[in-house]
A = this chain, B = another copy of it.
């Protein structure tokens, strides 16, 4: 009994990827074993190799496809948002969240199984990730240029924003208390209020915890100056 009746290469390949996503998401790449994957797909372990090169190749394919899709869809969303920097920033935030809600597993895998990729594969994925971060950094820079945003360091801000937005996936559940739209609204506000230029009360809001004294002196002088450029001793 081999070559089961009605078997279909494309369908099996899709089932493998789908099951692999779930297994890696739940157990991690290293802890996932191909026998369990084969069982879930409904074929024998050896048959997997009609559709994958190696376990490592399977992981890379899953991650690379996800990253490519994320980049493409993000660009589409930004294009649809038009030229206004703030509109584009809102579009980025909303798209990031909605895409991540939709594909929690892929996102999680791409973020936390990066280290499981062998060097050449690793480098390729990192490059795609950099590219994605670069899009947000560019948006923030654009907002700073128009004066609508007030961000001392757009790189740091971009990483912080991405961490915050991506973090939602770790606890979001479709049947949870809050809808996707509510979460988008909440996080849009959190992000924008964090980077927007506020009238009047500009300075001293990042004052060190202990001393409420340094209240009125700095005004907004340092807002545009780059952060201390060089490293410290050790």
Residues of A within 8 A of B (CB): 22, 25-28, 30-31, 81, 87, 90-91, 94, 105, 112, 115-116, 152-153, 156-157, 159-164, 166-168, 170-171, 173-179, 181-196, 198-201, 205-212, 214, 222, 225, 227-234
Contacts and interface: CB of A to CB of B under 8 A. Distances in A.
A163 B212 CA distance: 27
B194 A208 contact: no
B205 A28 contact: no
Contacts of A81: 209
Given A27-B115, A152-B189, A181-B210, 5 more contacts: A22-B234, A25-B234, A152-B186, A177-B222, A177-B227
Nearest to A225: B177
A176 B228 CA distance: 5
Contact of A206 (B115, B160, B168, B186): B186
A214 B207 CA distance: 35
Contacts of A160: 164, 167-168, 186-187, 190
